């Protein structure tokens, strides 16, 4: 088994990127998840949007450990369909530790009392509703599992399976998967689809900042349409660089 190899536990997870890349290069997604749970017990959390493709990684996680912490950043502006899908998919997979991570009411009262900040400053809105709540929720964890893939956007084209993100190890088990790979996996495992996918939403974020995508457009073209914004800030800063934890 991959995870039977000796691990230098004196090193922090973020200091083991090169070893992990060398040892587990080409490993199948579920194997990567199993390695993380085995090598870093109690230090791993998975962040999921419960969006269009989320079922694949969540199914793999359920196969490895149904008690793995799954963090949903609930901005209080998600589609109702996403919240309903979270309940349906979690029950289907038997996930037992899904946590809704919500913005601090004090932050909202200070910066967005009317809930209209997204109309004036999308970066600040994402910061208050996504970035800061997730930073607080991730404090107990040194390993973050992400569902990002290279094909999703130009900003993700060089995505590695293992990344050092400040003091934290970020792991992208599906980095090299294509849209076809994901559809096939969902079909074979009979996973429920997010209801908005059939309505023309291949990438799903907050309701005010997500629109339908026309045939031939980039899958993320409906996110923050009409602006040059392509990432919420959880993974990338305004300059396009991977964020570093402070």
Q: Does residue 239 have a known ligand-binding role? A: no
Radius of gyration of the chain measured on its C-alpha atoms: 18
C-beta of residue 60 within 8 angstroms of C-beta of residue 29 = yes
Residue 230 domain-assigned?
no
Give the pLDDT score at 79.
97
State which residues form the domain around 61. Answer: 13-209
By DSSP bridging, strand 168-171 and strand 162-165 are antiparallel
Report the predicted TM-score, pTM, of the whole model to 2 decimal places: 0.86
Q: Does residue 7 have a known ligand-binding role? A: no
Query: Tokens at residue 185, please?
Result: 């996996």
Residue 145 domain-assigned?
yes
Distance CA 103, CA 76 (A): 8
Higher pLDDT, 122 or 241: 122
Residue 218 domain-assigned?
no
Q: What is the mean pLDDT of residues 215-235?
A: 73
Give the pLDDT score at 128.
96
Give the pLDDT score at 3.
47
Residue 220 domain-assigned?
no
Q: What is the mean pLDDT of residues 72-91?
A: 97
Residue 112 domain-assigned?
yes
Q: Does residue 209 have a known ligand-binding role? A: yes
Residue 234 domain-assigned?
no
Question: Catalytic: which of 37, 60, 232, 234?
Answer: 232
For all residues of the chain together, what is the average pLDDT?
87
Higher pLDDT, 232 or 215: 215
5 pLDDT higher than 70? no
Distance CA 165, CA 246 (A): 10
CATH code, domain with 110: 3.40.50.620
Q: What is the mean pLDDT of residues 95-110?
A: 97
Give the pLDDT score at 243.
41
Residue 242 domain-assigned?
no
Distance CA 86, CA 195 (A): 11
225 pLDDT higher than 90? no
- Please state the domain count of the chain: 1
Distance CA 78, CA 98 (A): 16
Tell me the pLDDT tens digit for each residue of 19-35.
999 999 889 899 999 99
Question: Residue 142: exposed, middle, or buried by beta-carbon count in 10 A (0-12, 13-18, 19+)?
Answer: middle
Give the pLDDT score at 156.
66
Question: Catalytic site residue 232?
Answer: yes
Distance CA 50, CA 90 (A): 9
Residue 2 domain-assigned?
no
Beta strands in the chain (DSSP E): 44-47, 70-73, 98-101, 143-145, 162-165, 168-171
Instruction: Indicate the pLDDT class of residue 152, thresholds 50, 70 and 90.
Output: low
Query: Tokens at residue 129, please?
Result: 């509703």
Q: Does residue 206 have a known ligand-binding role? A: yes
């Amino acid at each position: 088994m991959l995870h039977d190899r000796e691990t230098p536990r004196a090193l922090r997870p973020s200091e083991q990127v090169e070893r992990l890349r060398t040892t587990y290069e080409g490993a199948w997604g579920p194997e990567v998840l199993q390695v993380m749970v085995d090598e870093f017990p109690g230090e791993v959390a998975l962040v999921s949007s419960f969006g269009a493709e989320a079922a694949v990684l969540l199914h793999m996680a359920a196969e490895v450990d149904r008690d793995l912490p799954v963090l949903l950043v609930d901005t209080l502006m998600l589609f109702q369909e996403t919240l309903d899908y979270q309940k349906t998919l979690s029950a289907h997979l038997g996930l037992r530790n899904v946590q809704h991570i919500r913005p601090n009411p004090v932050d909202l009262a200070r910066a967005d009392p009317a809930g209209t900040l997204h109309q004036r400053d999308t970066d600040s809105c994402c910061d208050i509703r996504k970035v800061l709540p997730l930073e607080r929720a991730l404090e107990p964890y040194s390993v973050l599992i992400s569902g990002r893939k290279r094909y999703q956007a130009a900003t993700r084209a060089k995505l590695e399976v293992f990344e050092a993100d400040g003091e934290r190890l970020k792991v992208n088990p599906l980095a090299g998967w294509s849209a076809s790979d994901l559809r096939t996996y969902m079909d074979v495992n009979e996973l429920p689809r997010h209801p908005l996918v059939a309505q023309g939403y291949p990438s799903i974020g907050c309701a005010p900042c997500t629109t339908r995508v026309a045939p031939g457009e980039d899958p993320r073209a409906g996110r923050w349409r009409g602006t040059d914004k392509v990432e919420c800030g959880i993974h990338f800063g305004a300059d396009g660089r991977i964020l570093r934890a402070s």
